[in-house]
Structure 1
Amino acid sequence: MTGQVRGVQLARLLGQWHALPGRRRSPDYAALAGAVRGLLADGRLPLGVRLPAERELAEALRISRTTVTAAYRQLRETGHLASRRGAGSWTMLPGNHRVASTGLWTPLDDREMIDLGVAALAAPPQLLAAARAAAEDLPRYLGGAGYHPTGIIELREAVADGYTARGLPTSADQIMVTSGTQHALDLVLRLALAPGGSVLVESPTYPNALAALAGRRARITTHGLAADAGWESDLLLGSLRQTRPKLAYLIPEFQNPTGHLMPASLRERVVAAAHAVGTDLVIDESFVDLPLDGTELPPPTATFDRHSRVVSIGGMSKPYWGGLRIGWVRASAPQVQRLAAVRVGVDMASPVLDQLVAVHLLADAPAIVADRRTQLAAQRDALLGALAHRLPDWRITVPRGGVTLWAELDGPVSSALARAAEDVGVRLAPGPRFGLDGTLERFLRLPFTLPAADLVEAVGRIAAVRYDLDRTGRQRWREPAVIA
């Protein structure tokens, strides 16, 4: 089912459209059409959504219907709107242009490259001690086959204790250990989503989640996040009710890439709306351990679940180390058993030694995570300072946690900037990688997981190529390595 945006909702998204730069040089209808194109380019207005009728939008904006009619006509002429008499008008992009959301390439072993495509930290110093302790524990498991489809009991208990400490009582039977968060998502999709099933995601969102959904040939609809404010509650709930997707994939804690934190009130309403329309929620908690500046976390989304609609996934990659491929699923005990049955067709179990390392790291979690938060806050502030000094026209909402900034650029140049930056030794993840259909060209994700000196150096190089970008010829395309 195609989603629909109501007149008051579109008016809210458009904001002060009549006060945009260049407004006095263009008539009302052209300014309105330009504002709608801007929403499409930013991903805040999804593609394939039906716009309000001309009269409805005119009333919501308090302008004449003639102005809306002319704006819609211009949008049709530029290829941003398709209309059928008696049926309405739907958003689109010119020429059916699409950009693939996936893109995993083998990284070059180039030590001179500053890689801002991967939002992950180096290993903590405690990892070596945890590995030694795990090796000493390993003999206890050597007498068995080593296959534990749901994970070893020590790790499942440790993960369950973490949820309980956050106010969500959880038993080990509700935890399944996986080979990373991406593996957790893949298993949930295999169990809960038939090929071609419908899924609602945020825009922008995590590129590898889009790749997993593409692997299931999912029919994806999007909810556009505001760069400065995050989720528009009425639009998000309206999308659930209108499209009635089989699944919704959301990142409530320090959303990747925007860094937004979903308030408790919206979490509760989303769970209630999902239950009402029969949608299962897949909640990605990859960044839940990384609030900064003393930010207080809302309750876990699953706290509001009374009908086993919420499946939570998380892992060790962001707060600990990406090379430790340990993730997990939190669900009802019957769902965990069904996931285990699905898993044996993919892999038998996660490595026992890696799981033992994770047990020891989680036992030392308070000290490790506190150090990580201090490190990330300092690196974030260094990156913000460098951007304010070298690229003051870029707009950035300071995240309250996580590991990334979502920068709104001074023009739709994200992909071109990424190509140019590659030539000066900086690897970037351009905005379109985080959305569908070629949108988000005015945005760029910038992780602050590297040392402060590297981040400042990277911004200097980016600024240099940005200022030359409009005066140089087309750059040769070099595919980025890994976006994570």
Structure 2
Amino acid sequence: MPVVENQSTARELARLIGPAAGLPAPRYAGLARRIRDLVTSGSLPSGHRLPAERELAAALDLSRVTVASAYRVLREEGFASTRHGSGTVAELPQAGPLWGPPSSAPGVLDLAHAAPEAAPGLSAAYADALAALPAHLSGHGYAPNGLPQLRAAVADRFTARGLPTEPDQVVITAGVGDATATVLETLLQPGDRVLVEHPTYPSILGMVAAAGGRCTPVPVDPSDPDALVRAAHLATRQSSPRLAFVIPDFSNPTGVRLSASGRRRLAATLWQQGVLSVVDEVAAELYLDGEALAPFAAGLPDAATITVGGLSKAVWGGLRVGWLRTDAALAAQLGATLLRRQLSVGLLDQLAATALLGRLDQVLEHRRGQLRERRDALLDAIGSRLPEWEVHRPAGGLSLWCRLPPGVGSAALVAGAAPSGLLLAEGRAFGTGHSFDDHLRLPFTRPVADLHRAVEVLARVQSEVRSGAWGGSPARPRTVV
């Protein structure tokens, strides 16, 4: 879908809205909803000025009162604001409150979090770490920027994957989220724009807002992965973002993976427009079909990208070790920010991570086989019990992104499944504003029997929602991992 210019003209916005005769009644509410949808999809970027009420009314052949009422609704919902000297400006509502930790209560099946159990070999890695620990006990126990041997192991892994890296280009963090937060805290200024995929990993929306930035959403289409490249080209020219947060390999939640040519074109576009790419590689090596692709940063100047990664998905979420990789000078700057917040990631965890990186190929081979079996079982179960759902088959990653049939919303499914002990995340947690209630993310990170149980619960709840037998209230949007 085309994107409007920096200052929306009435004619351009009217073209995106479509004929006024097609707006649902009452007209002012239908117009407000249509503009809201354009904002949440990224077709009308946040921060851009809307046409004057009189001009848009003339372009749509509506009364000025109708347009004024629509603008009022948008302001009340948080999708527009009035700025002195700028008129009415399109906005995205601020991110909602965060969740608490994932549930470990007995009998609860937590599929709100795409987090598998620990991989085999984790205990052995900690045994190796304990054996190595005495050599460090005579010191202070701090390792700013990370243990030298762990930074070297991470650098070697990047090099083996086609991105030559030196240890001084690596900073060790307490997980991928910590690495991302460090980047935003260091580089983002209040009011700066950040290009984000839409839908995207929910926590990035809250992190950007917390840092004073504004998200510019770019649509992701599972049926056309490289559509992101075309949309990002337009958005960077028209929104001038400071950073771009991209997940080129098995994006959360869609599972989309950019092709080799698509990632080269997107990387080049962002670099040429002066946009620094923050690349999330947490699932980059969890390919279930096909083969490995070169890292997004390969072939670019080191200062063009910051790549964040970690072991939470490949190994275990309880191992809080992540990293970031970039130009050595920028790495030192990011490390200084991290040092202000924490002197060091835990030494024992870093020693265990070092041991795991030495045998990561074996760990990944097991994890891929496990996830492949679970993905296929979940797809089969949905096809059998929920045949109206539209599901893109991801070539890797950790979850399915399911389009729900008309009349069924994810908020109702999430609320209806909770009393049966099934925890899920609403689709709108992955978007800006009120997008994606017509979608549901289903991780395939639990054993097959658990996934079958989840589908049975969903099939029952969907039937109750359609029949009117379920009368509960949708849960509030939540931020998930």
Normalising by structure 1, what TM-score? 0.83
Superimposed CA distance per residue, residues 276-334 of structure 1 (whole angstroms, 9 cap, x where no aligned partner): 332111000010110012x2233211113226120000000010100000000001111
Superimposed CA distance per residue, residues 319-368 of structure 1 (whole angstroms, 9 cap, x where no aligned partner): 01000000000011111111221112100011111011111111111111
1:467 aligns to 2:450 (yes or no): no
Superimposed CA distance per residue, residues 16-49 of structure 1 (whole angstroms, 9 cap, x where no aligned partner): x99xxxxxxx97677xx89967965984645548
How far apart are the structure 1 equivalents of 2:321 and 2:135? 20
Residue of structure 2 aligned with 1:370, choices 359, 365, 370: 365
1:311 aligns to 2:306 (yes or no): yes
1:263 aligns to 2:259 (yes or no): yes
Alpha-carbon shift at residue 195 of structure 1 (Å): 2.9
What is residue 416 of structure 1 aligned with on the other side? 412
Alpha-carbon shift at residue 238 of structure 1 (Å): 0.9
1:147 aligns to 2:132 (yes or no): no
How far apart are the structure 2 equivalents of 1:52 and 1:346? 41
Superimposed CA distance per residue, residues 445-484 of structure 1 (whole angstroms, 9 cap, x where no aligned partner): 1100000110011011011011111404542565688721
Give the conservation status (yes or no) of the 8 Å contact 1:287–1:319: yes
How far apart are the structure 2 equivalents of 1:460 and 1:313? 37
How far apart are the structure 2 equivalents of 1:225 and 1:51? 24
Residue of structure 2 aligned with 1:216, choices 207, 211, 216: 211
Greater relative contact order, per chain length (Cα 8 Å cut-off, separation 6+): 1
Give the conservation status (yes or no) of the 8 Å contact 1:259–1:404: yes
Give the conservation status (yes or no) of the 8 Å contact 2:417–2:461: yes
How far apart are the structure 2 equivalents of 1:188 and 1:353? 25
Superimposed CA distance per residue, residues 82-129 of structure 1 (whole angstroms, 9 cap, x where no aligned partner): 899xx999877xxx8x47344221445422111111101100121111
Give the conservation status (yes or no) of the 8 Å contact 1:46–1:223: no
What is residue 291 of structure 2 aligned with on the other side? 296
CA 1:366–1:70 in structure 2 vs 1: closer, same or farther (change >3 Å)? farther
What is residue 59 of structure 1 aligned with on the other side? none
Which structure 2 residues correspond to residues 41-80 of structure 1 after superposition, within 5 A? 43=41, 45=43, 48=46, 69=60
CA 1:192–1:318 in structure 2 vs 1: closer, same or farther (change >3 Å)? same
1:177 aligns to 2:172 (yes or no): yes
How far apart are the structure 2 equivalents of 1:472 and 1:41? 34
How far apart are the structure 1 equivalents of 2:95 and 2:330? 32
1:236 aligns to 2:238 (yes or no): no
Matched residue SS, 1:406: strand
What is residue 343 of structure 1 aligned with on the other side? 338
Which structure 2 residues correspond to residues 322-337 of structure 1 after superposition, within 5 A? 322-337=317-332
1:483 aligns to 2:473 (yes or no): no
Alpha-carbon shift at residue 145 of structure 1 (Å): 1.1
Which structure 2 residues correspond to residues 247-286 of structure 1 after superposition, within 5 A? 247-286=243-282
Moved more, 364-373 or 195-204: 195-204
Give the conservation status (yes or no) of the 8 Å contact 1:194–1:216: yes
CA 1:37–1:399 in structure 2 vs 1: closer, same or farther (change >3 Å)? farther
Normalising by structure 2, what TM-score? 0.84
Alpha-carbon shift at residue 422 of structure 1 (Å): 0.7
Moved more, 267-276 or 109-118: 267-276
Aligned AA (2:413): L
Give the conservation status (yes or no) of the 8 Å contact 1:404–1:448: yes
Matched residue SS, 2:291: coil
CA 1:46–1:350 in structure 2 vs 1: closer, same or farther (change >3 Å)? farther
Superimposed CA distance per residue, residues 367-399 of structure 1 (whole angstroms, 9 cap, x where no aligned partner): 110010010000001111111111111111100
Matched residue SS, 1:313: strand
Matched residue SS, 2:372: helix
Which structure 2 residues correspond to residues 12-161 of structure 1 after superposition, within 5 A? 40=38, 43=41, 45=43, 48=46, 69=60, 98=93, 100-161=95-156
CA 1:71–1:125 in structure 2 vs 1: closer, same or farther (change >3 Å)? farther
What is residue 22 of structure 1 aligned with on the other side? none
Aligned AA (2:340): G
Give the conservation status (yes or no) of the 8 Å contact 1:406–1:444: yes
Matched residue SS, 2:195: strand
CA RMSD in angstroms comes to 3.6
Give the conservation status (yes or no) of the 8 Å contact 2:302–2:327: no
Give the conservation status (yes or no) of the 8 Å contact 1:117–1:481: no
How far apart are the structure 1 equivalents of 2:105 and 2:122? 25
CA 1:357–1:72 in structure 2 vs 1: closer, same or farther (change >3 Å)? farther
Matched residue SS, 2:416: helix
Give the conservation status (yes or no) of the 8 Å contact 1:164–1:170: yes
CA 1:304–1:82 in structure 2 vs 1: closer, same or farther (change >3 Å)? same
Give the conservation status (yes or no) of the 8 Å contact 2:114–2:398: yes
Alpha-carbon shift at residue 431 of structure 1 (Å): 0.9
Residue of structure 1 aligned with 2:315, choices 320, 326, 329: 320
Matched residue SS, 1:167: coil
Moved more, 446-455 or 206-215: 206-215
Which structure 2 residues correspond to residues 400-415 of structure 1 after superposition, within 5 A? 400-411=395-406, 413-415=409-411
What is residue 21 of structure 1 aligned with on the other side? none
Structure 2 stretches lacking a partner, 5+ long = 25-29, 52-56
Identical columns (%): 35
How far apart are the structure 2 equivalents of 1:207 and 1:353? 30
Structure 1 stretches lacking a partner, 5+ long = 19-25, 54-65
